[in-house]
């Protein structure tokens, strides 16, 4: 059974207003920036991006993990999945939108 929607049907119905959905920043660099301008932090020495199966992985290598601390906490609080793998003199940071 099909029902044809007429303009008069829409006019007589009450629809709840829909609040706009806040759009998540496209990249962690946009999340760290302001006014939709990305910010590449100085601690992000080597950056790579991997895309697959509907997800994007941002891999950042740094020798200054201490300098990255505040940015990584901010990204985590903003909903990014932040994983850190430490080695003797550097660290790899994996960032994915949660």
- Give the pLDDT confidence score for residue 21 in this predicted structure: 54
| CB count in 10 Å sphere of residue 94 | 14
Domain residues for 77?
43-98
Report pTM. 0.71
Domain membership flag for residue 34: no
Going from the C-alpha of 32 to that of each of 49, 63, 97, the distances in angstroms are 17, 19, 13
Domain membership flag for residue 7: no
Domain membership flag for residue 90: yes
Walking along the chain (98 residues) 10 residues at a time, the average pLDDT comes out as 57 61 74 89 97 93 96 95 95 94
Domain membership flag for residue 84: yes
Domain membership flag for residue 28: no
Domain membership flag for residue 47: yes
Domain membership flag for residue 15: no
């Amino acid at each position: 059974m099909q029902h044809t929607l007429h303009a008069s049907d829409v006019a007589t119905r009450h629809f709840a207003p829909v609040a706009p959905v806040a759009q998540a920043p496209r990249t962690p660099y946009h999340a760290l920036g302001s006014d939709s301008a990305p910010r590449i932090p100085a601690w992000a020495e080597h950056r790579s991006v991997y895309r697959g199966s509907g997800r994007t992985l941002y891999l950042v290598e740094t020798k200054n993990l201490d300098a990255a601390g505040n940015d990584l906490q901010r990204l985590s609080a903003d909903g990014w999945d932040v994983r850190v793998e430490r080695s003797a003199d550097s660290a790899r940071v994996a960032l994915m939108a949660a």
